[in-house]
Amino acid sequence: MRLVFPTMTPEQKLAELGLELPAVAPAAGNYLPVVRTGNLLFCAGTLAVKDGKVTHEGQVGKEQTVQTAYESARVAALNSLANIKAHVGELSKIKRVVMVNGFVNAISGFADSPAVINGASDLLVEVLGDAGRHARAAVAVAGLPRNSTTEVQLVVEIAD
């Protein structure tokens, strides 16, 4: 006899992890936070923002460490998930995360962007399981909007 255990929804998994999706912020310009084409959602870049304030400001290697920047990437990914939920109603509609583009505000020559963007990648796998595994780019840049330490963009496939 095989026992079948119910799986948790992504929202239940967030609660188990002690995390909450932040309130969705309005777009900061003439763009949409999420655009759907077919079964793909293209998510605009999200920053590490909570309650309207950037949680992690400045460059890695100057004001931020790899570890604090990792936390920043987690917050940015939570904001992306909040935008997705606002667009489709529930996170269980995510069939898989296809692509993550991660940007790290860092000093010149910074080479550990992948370790920083692991914050977003790890969160997506923790919340979505195998559906959270994705292709990825992790790029260091000289600056980001609002002096945020990280910015994350997602491409997500959703179920019909």
Examine residue 18 and state whether it is found in any structural domain, yes or no. Answer: no
| Residue 108's CATH number | 3.30.1330.40
Query: Does the residue 120 lie in any domain?
Result: yes
Average pLDDT over residues 126-131: 96
Q: Judge whether 58 lies within some domain.
A: yes
Residue 87 is predicted with a pLDDT of 97
Q: What is the model's pTM?
A: 0.94
Is residue 113, in this structure, part of any structural domain at all? yes
60 closest CA partner among 125, 131, 147: 147
Beta bridge partners of 119: none
Q: Residue 147 — very low, low, confident or very high, per pLDDT cuts 50/70/90? A: very high
Q: Say how many domains are in the chain.
A: 1
What pLDDT, on the 0 to 100 scale, is given for residue 25? Answer: 87
| In a domain? residue 26 | no
Q: In which domain, by residue range, is 52 found?
A: 31-158
Q: What is the pLDDT of residues 52-66, one digit of tens each?
A: 999 999 999 999 999
The answer, yes or no, to whether residue 5 has pLDDT greater than 90, is: no
pLDDT reported for residue 160: 82
Q: What is the pLDDT of residue 3?
A: 54
Show Cβ contacts of residue 91 under 8 Å, excluding neighbours closer than 6 positions: 9, 10, 11, 81, 84, 85, 127, 128
Q: How far apart are CA 125 and CA 133, in angstroms?
A: 6
